[in-house]
């Protein structure tokens, strides 16, 4: 009987490489997959692997006064206007008026969109700090 998922245990000390199941490549769902984004969570050591149907992507980190509906509307508008596919988001507030919002997204032609994206990010109300990092295939940690 076919399952919903597949799992394996990897000795990460003995081998630093992880193989992708052959079924992934045979699956209709992966037909348009061009690359994958790998996200490493420094605090927990968790690693996420997310296939993507775009050739590039980026990470945006915002330190804001608060994560509120206005911020989310701005980000939603940004994603739609520049054809950005959201892959992963996270956020937390570490003080009453200081929150971190981080989002990874996939898109094609990211360098052409960089200036417009940065401009939108820099004009977010209540923004303390922002980071915009383009992630490229082959570029290591």
pLDDT tens-digit series, residues 101-135: 999 999 999 999 999 999 999 999 899 999 999 99
As a whole number, mean pLDDT of residues 79-89 equals 96
pLDDT at 3 over 80: no
Cα–Cα distance between 20 and 103 in angstroms, integer? 25
103: domain CATH number is 3.30.70.260
pLDDT at 73 over 70: yes
Of 65, 67, 68, 34, which Cα lies nearest the Cα of 51? Answer: 34
Residue 120 has phi, psi (to 5 degrees) of -65, -45
Domain that holds residue 77: 56-135
What percent of the chain is predicted at pLDDT more than 90? 68
For the chain, the domain total comes to 1
Q: Quick one: pLDDT band at residue 63, thresholds 50, 70, 90?
A: very high
């Amino acid at each position: 009987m076919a399952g919903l998922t597949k799992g394996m245990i990897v000795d990460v000390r003995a081998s630093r490489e992880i193989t992708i199941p052959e079924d992934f490549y045979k699956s209709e769902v992966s037909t348009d997959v061009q690359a994958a984004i790998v996200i490493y969570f420094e605090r927990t050591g968790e690693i996420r692997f997310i296939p993507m149907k775009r050739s590039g992507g980026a990470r945006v980190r915002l330190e804001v006064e608060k994560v509120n509906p206005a911020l989310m509307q701005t980000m939603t508008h940004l994603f739609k206007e520049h054809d950005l596919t959201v892959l992963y988001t996270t956020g937390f507030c570490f003080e009453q008026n200081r929150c971190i919002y981080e989002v990874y997204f996939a898109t094609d032609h990211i360098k052409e969109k960089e200036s417009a994206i940065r401009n939108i990010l820099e004009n977010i109300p209540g923004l303390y700090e922002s980071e915009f990092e383009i992630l490229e295939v082959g570029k290591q940690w």
